[in-house]
Amino acid sequence: RRREQGDKRKQMSKLAGKVALITGSGRGIGRSLALKLASEGARVVVNDLDEAPAAEVVAEIGKAGGEAVACAGSVTAPDFADRFVQTALDKFGGLDIIVNNAGYIWDGVIQKMTDEQFQAMLDVHLIAPFRILRAASEPIRMFAKKEAQEGREVFRKVVNISSMAGTNGNASQVNYSSAKAGLVGMTKTLSKEWGRYKVNVNCVAYGFIETRLTQSSSNEGANVTIEGRNINVGVPDASRQMLPMMVPLGRAGTPDEAAGAVYLFCIPESNYVSGQVLLVGGGINM
């Protein structure tokens, strides 16, 4: 009887039968989103730069009764996009939700910024999502064609993770801001190209969310090694102390709250919403 109840709950879930691919889902916002979508019935392809965090999220989803598989590795690797999409097709036989979430920051004022530093942000925040969506385009087209022939209207979802640094700019982040602004343009363009395939393409732009990227720069953990580079990803204490004055809600957002905004774009209630940028900053609207 307990199993029957579990099966019934799964059928009633908003994302039952859907296949979700989420980059950077071994930690932070991505992890929260993977757990949320799985709890609503989605089967999830979990990605992280490192194998251990991805495996932990897969195990956590499995323990809760969901289905997930890991696809570890850097999203900037030339072969990653094809491998990521193929993992979903091979393991779950579908492709319904894509969330381009992976990324990090590498700050500096423009006069001190190197070409490598600028290009690194473009690679992870803009080129990697482009490659993933390009790799997904033919499977999506084929699924949509088959569904149209059968007289079925099936909506798919793409959510690109931008930042208010991309919509409004942010000092010391010309590289990051440029990449995230480009992602907004990609979102609006694909919403026009993929509307005929019943794909909703939207963007979430975060303000200050509590993750390892926004911890105090004085913390030891604020120095991380990413693809052989030792990078300080923290935020100065002075900036963090200004938060209550800057954010109308008076605090930073949590990863679960950030994931909730993406979830809104993944559920059937948003089937007629596309090409939009949702600011998630606790009321900041600069």
Where in the sequence numbering do the catalytic residues fall? 176
- Tell me how far apart the alpha carbons of residues 140 and 199 are, in angstroms, rounded to a whole number: 9
- Tell me how far apart the alpha carbons of residues 255 and 194 are, in angstroms, rounded to a whole number: 29
**What tokens does 66 get?**
């969901």
Cβ atoms of 46 and 25 within 8 Å: the answer is: yes
Select from 88, 44, 83 the least CA-distant residue to 66. Answer: 44
- Tell me how far apart the alpha carbons of residues 52 and 208 are, in angstroms, rounded to a whole number: 27
Q: How many CB atoms lie within 10 A of CB 154?
A: 16
